[in-house]
Every structure is written in structure tokens, then in C-alpha cells.
Amino acid sequence: MFTVDNCLVLSAVLFAIGVFGVIARRNLLVILMSIEVMLNAVNLAFMSFARQHAFEGGNAGQIFVLIVMAVAAAEAAVGLAILLAFFRNRQTADADEANLMKN
Amino acid sequence: MSDVMFVALAVVSTASALLLVTRRNPLYAALCMMVLFGTTALLFLKLSAPFLAAMQVLVYGGAVLMLFLFTIMLLNLHPEELGSEKGLTFKLSAGILSAVLAIFLIYAVKFSRDMTGGSFPELPAGSAAFGSAESVGEGIFDAFVLPFELVSVLIVAAVAGAIVLTKKKL
Amino acid sequence: MEHLIAEMKPLSPVLIVFTGALAALLAGVFSKKENSYALPYIGITTVAFAFVALLNYWGRGMIWLLQGAIRIDSFGLYISAIILIACLITFLASIGYAKRLGFEHGEYISLLLFASGGMMLLAMSADLVTLFLSLEIMSISIYALAGMARHRQKCNEAALKYFILGAFSTAFLLFGIALIYGATASTKIHAIAQVQGLKPLLVAGLGMLIVGFGFKVGAAPFHVWVPDAYEGAPATVTGFMAVAVKAAGFAALLRVILIAFPGTWAEYWWPVFWAVALLTMFLGNIIAVFQKNVKRMLAYSGIAHTGYILIGLVSLGIAGSEPYIPGMKALMNPIAGGMLFYLLAYTFMTLGAFAVISLAARDEDDLETLDDFSGLSQRKPVVALAMAVFLISMAGVPPFGGFIAKFYVFKGAIDVQGMLLASGVKEYHALALAILGIITSMFSVYYYLRVVWFMYFREPLEDRPSVAPSWGLHFVIFASSVAIVVLGILPSGFFSVASRGAEALVR
């Protein structure tokens, strides 16, 4: 059971759940969390591949996991700052309320 | 034993991710996210990467989750302020879309079994070569020194951006 | 340590830009409010130094740095030069504008420089780790820049939409990189090309990578963020986003696609880009016709321009997948050169147009609705003339740079078609794309000229007080229109520089 492809299947399923969250939800906080879920799934995929390629190609996979963590934290910081600025002006955290601009 | 643990972790992480994207209250979603991060850290341990498991707990559990919780507290949304949700048909089509994506990815994984099939290669017993702080550190300060330095640039830019967007007076 | 410093030397253009960003950040914190007018000059000086450092490495061949993380070559230097020009023009146009919108502070300058540095690295990355990180440095800075005018609700919205879709696409890109790493056990772009055979994992990775880059360059069907982000963001930032993000995104896309997936791989990716290019051109041009807001119209026209540049990529793919046809390989460099020339012409006309838009119509709003433009020729004749030059150039009417750029791109597709027919291959994809491209570009003439018509044949509306443009804005408008005219009249020198830039990718 604990094989490379099953780890990847788990990561693919988590990624798809994150995609669902971004598309289907209106609460901005939950959308941001869904993006974190997607990044987490990517990390799992990188880690499985890194473990599989443990004897070839250096440890690029592990470094990538580390970098994705940093990027996820930075993205969360900027994303939440943008959310706060939006909330201050509009008093809502609903993505569908962001509708001032139309064709 | 190893298989049982993997299945348990997979079930828990999938369930917590599903709960996360379906909770109406962001606070509950954040708690689900904590469980997801925890199980991911355990999976990293199972993949013999103790250093990254520790980092997962520190960065995601410590920094990212706290950031979300702070924001939830700062916004202090009442249940009636949470706003409406998208319609059922919309959610259904989004579900189908993401299911198609998942199936596509699983297909790609399962059809390259010559590369992804089988179990992970055995690591030599007692070796700290893979997944230890030493091995990751060697990578960071040797082949990947530029990316490592760039992370610092990224963080400075992110901090400047976050401050400029939220500080009341500049 | 000394070894490392010596090795970093060729990276000096990027390092100068990052240093300038830090200097601007510190200067913003420690200077008094009334001295903040001096901050853009820090940016201008930095860009000037970085440009000199850049020119120093032009024509020196390839330099590999840091175990293959970076490859400094003519392509990366050419794109970096475009980015620095865009950054310089943005600084000049921001003089006055930033003050009026209340974001004349060090962070604005600093974030623009951080974004530029990230983009330059993006154009030079030869390793997916570096590529991803520089993409993120660029994106995170631009998310914050898009929301810079914090009290404007439209601006908040623009930043929000750009952030959510940007982060979403980043995750796709990242998953694609993970799959490619899994299939090849390497993150080096040049090593990926060595892996033989078609593997589902690699194909899936390429697919997700295309989705991720498609978002960044604003290609349909991944363009949904473009109109809102462009309309809501401050005009100077919009111009920078439109030009520099697109140039950097195309640089990364071209490098990854052409180097990691060359030759027979092209058979798999060019049909995808063929459909994407067609959809992008049609959607962009048709929706632009119905826009009343000039800023939003330019957003859709920017989408359409992405489609035209993608025609070049499709031609490269078709040419690359038929390497046995004699003479086909020789066509590839001019096609890629045409794409790079297009990016240069697009830089000047778009930044010029957004500089005109940043002239306020009312206190805080940009000059953006069609009504704002009516009778502009009577109120500001020089500005109206320059705007007419930019718009007519975008429409692809001679004798301006936009016409020559479109000419090179369409000519590339037709040349490939001719070569195919000469060797007896009866497939008309390249020709079809070129013809449809020319047809869509005819639509575009209507909406560009409508703005010109409003400027010249409508009476000015009374309630439009005008703000005197700063010297920087005057300079930008003047210099950009001169550049567009020069690119249109004397294109050959610039085209040979662009072809030399393309040599690093396709010879």
C-alpha cells in the first residue's frame, strides 16, 4: 500500500479538493485556505518524488519542499493583507461582493 | 503495519481537507487545516524526512495557521455576516470539474507505473543521508545557494507588501 | 565565500536592482514626508546602473552560474532590458501620479524594483527551482502593487482577484514542476530535454505548466483576471503589469517549452497553443469592442496581443516538429526574433497609452472612460497626438512599430506554411492561424480608432478639470511615441538585436 503511486494519488486527491474549494466557495478566508491545501498537496508530491529519487539527482525535491513552505507563508501574508484591505473598505469577506467592475 | 498507518493518514488527511472546503465557518476550516498539516508532517516522517516534517510543523502549524487564526479574530465575523454560499448546481459543477482533474492526475500517475509503481527504494540502515538536516543543509548551501538567498528577497518583498497594504498610516 | 562572490558577478544587474529596492525601502522609512518626492529618483538611478551592467554582458556568449541555476545569455539579457525599460518608464510616469493617489512612499518604489529583479531572474533561470522562486518574487510584489491605492475600492478588488487567481495558477505551475521532477529526477531545464520517451507523467506536468504560464501571460481561457486587475490597479502599475509581467512570463514559457520540450515534443504542444492563440485573439478583440472604459478596453487588447505573440510560438512548434524539411530550421530564429521584437514594440505602445491614462480626469480617477477622452485634442493637443500614435500602432497600421511587429509574426507563420507546402505536407494550420490573426486584427482597428475619434471629433465635456502632467509623464509620452515611430520606420537594426536575443533559444 505504502508505494510511490499511492502517495501521488493522495496528493492528487488533496490538490483536487483544494481546487474545488477555490472554485466553489465564496468566503475569502476559506478560499485562501484552499490554496494552502493545494500547496500542501504539491509538497506531498515533491516529498514522494524526492524519496523515490533518493539516490539520484541530488536532493532537489527536498529543497523544493522547503522553498514551497516559505512561498506558502509569504503568499499567506500578502493574501491576508489584501483581504484585510478589502474588508476595511467593504465590510465583507465574500468573494462575490467584489463586483464593482463589469464589462 | 506501515501500510495500515499510511491508509489511516491518507483517510484522515483527505477527510480533513474535505471538511475544510465545506465548513461554513472559517474558524472550523482553520482547525481542519491544522489536522491536515499535522497528518502531512506525519507522512513526511514516514517518507523518512524528519527535518522537513519538523519544518512542516513549524512553518505551517506555527506561522501560516497562526496568521489565519489572527485574521479570523481580527475580522471577527458573526455567523450572520458570513454571507451566502454559491448555489448547489454551481457547487456540483465545480465538484465535477475537480473530480475530472483528480482523475486526470491519477491516470497520469497510474499509467507511468514503470516510474512510479512499486515501493520506495530502501535506504541503507542507520544512514542519515536522506532527509536529515545535514543533507538538506548541504543542498541549501551548495547547489541551491541562489534559491536559498532568493527566499530572503521574497520574504522582504512580502513583508513590505503586507505592511503597505494594511498599515493604517504610512 | 570569495569564490561565491566572484561567481555572482555576472548577476550584477539583478543584484543592483535588489540593492536599489532595499535602499528605497530604507530611504522611505528614514526620510521625512516632504522629501518623498525624491524617492522615484532612487529607482531611476538604480535602473540606470543596472542597465549599464546589463549592456556589459551583451554579446559575451553564455555564462552558466551557480551549478546551472542561472544561464546568462542573449535571450535573458534582451528580456531583462525590456523589463528595465518598462521599470524606468513606470518610475518616470509615477512622478506626480503616486502623490496624487497617496502612495508616494518607499515601498512603492521598492516593490517595483523587487518585481523587476524577480522578472530578470525569471528570464535567466535555467533551473525550475530558481524559475519558480523568481516567479514568486515577481508575483508577490505585483499583488501588493495592484492594491497600492488602498482607499480605492476598485483597487482592493483588483488586488484581490489578481491574488486569488495568481496563487491558484501558481499551485498548478508547481504541481506541473513536481510531475516533471518526478519523471526526470531533475529540475534543470537542459537536463529535462535529455529524457527520452513520452511519459504520461511528463505530459501531465507539461499540461499543468502550460496552465500556470497561461494565467501569467493572460492567454484565454485563463484570462479572467486580466480585465478586472488591469482596470482596478493604478494606471502606472497596470502599464507595468501589462508589459513586464507579460514579457517575463513569455520569457519563462519560451525557455521551458523550447529547451526542455524541443523537437518531436513540439507535436504535442503546438496544437494546444494553436487553440489557445486562436481563442485568445478572438475573445480579446471581440470583447474589447464592447468596452466603454478605455482602461478595460486596453486590458482586452492586451489579451489579444498575447494571442498574436503566441502565433510565433505555434509557428516555432510546427517548424520544430518537422526538422527533416530542409530550410525549416533556418526559419526558426527569425520567428523567435519576431516574437521578441513584438514584445519590444508592445512595451512602448502599452506603457505610453497607460501613461496617458494616468493623467487624471478627476481628482483621483484615471482618464479612463470614453467621455473623458472626448475632445482631448482641444484640451491637450500633444497628449492626444501621442495617444493616437499609440493606439494606431496597437491596431497594426503602418508606419508604426506595432505594424512591423505584427508583420514579422504573421510572416513567420506564412513562411512556415510555405515551407511545409513546398515539401508536400498538406496541412494548413499555420496559414489558418495567420489569416484568422489578420482578420481579428481588423476588428481591433474599430475599437482603437473609436478612441481617436472621440479625442478629435467630439466636443470636450465641461466637468473634466485637467491636471498638469509632470515632466516625467511628458517625457514618457514623448519618448514612447518617438520610439514607436523609430521602430516602425527603421526596424531592421532592432530586429537584428531581437534575433540575436533569440539565438540563445533557437539558432
Domain boundaries, chain A: 4-102
Spatial separation of the C-alpha atoms in residues B35 and B17, rounded to whole Å: 9
> Are C476 and C381 contacting, i.e. CB atoms less than 8 angstroms apart?
no
Q: Do C200 and B147 touch (CB under 8 A)?
A: no
Tell me the shortest Cα–Cα distance from A79 to chain B, in angstroms.
8
- Chain A adjacent subunits, 3+ CB pairs under 8 A: B, C
pLDDT 10s digits, B88-141 = 888 899 899 999 999 998 888 888 766 666 777 777 665 567 777 888 888 888
- CATH topology (fold) of A4-102: Helix Hairpins (1.10.287)
Residue C168 pLDDT exceeds 90: yes
Mean pLDDT, chain C, whole residue set:
88
Residue B12: how many other CB atoms lie within 10 Å: 15
Distance CA(B35)–CA(B29), nearest Å, equals 10
Are C342 and C309 in contact by the 8 Å Cβ rule? The answer is yes
Q: How confident is the model at residue C361 (pLDDT cuts 50, 70, 90)?
A: low
Q: What is the rounded average pLDDT for all residues in chain A? A: 88
Mean pLDDT of C363-376: 73
Please, are residues C167 and C216 in contact by the beta-carbon 8 Å criterion?
no
Provide mean pLDDT across the span C96-125.
89
pLDDT (tens digit per residue) in C4-28: 777 788 889 999 999 999 999 999 8
> Nearest CB to C140: which of A8, A45, A78?
A78
* Residue C465 buriedness (CB in 10 A; 0-12 / 13-18 / 19+): exposed
Evaluate if residue A21 carries a pLDDT over 60: yes
Quote the DSSP letter at residue B111.
Answer: T
Distance from CA of C178 to the nearest CA of A (A): 6
| Domain B2-85+124-166 part of CATH 1.20.120.1200 | yes
> Which chain B residues have a beta carbon less than 8 Å from that of A33?
20, 26, 29-30, 33, 68
Grid cell locating C338: 519576431
Provide mean pLDDT across the span C261-281. 88
pLDDT of residue A1 exceeding 80, the answer is no
Q: Which residues in chain A have Cβ-Cβ distances shorter than 8 Å to B84?
A: 26, 94
Residue C258 pLDDT exceeds 80: yes
What pLDDT does B115 receive? Answer: 66
Tell me which residues of chain A, numbers 64 to 103, contact chain B at a CB-CB cutoff of 8 Å: 65-67, 69-78, 80-85, 87, 92-94, 96-97
Distance separating alpha carbons of residues B149 and C102, to the nearest angstrom: 33
Q: Could you give the percent of chain B with pLDDT greater than 70?
A: 90
Tell me if the pTM is above 0.90: yes
Alpha carbons B75 and A30: distance in angstroms, whole number: 13
| A 35-54 residues inside an 8 A Cβ radius of B | 36-37, 40, 43-44, 47-48, 50-52, 54
Cβ burial C289-306 (10 Å sphere, 16+ → b, else e): eebebbbbbbbbbbbbbb
Where does residue C507 rank: exposed (0-12), middle (13-18), buried (19+ CB within 10 A)?
exposed
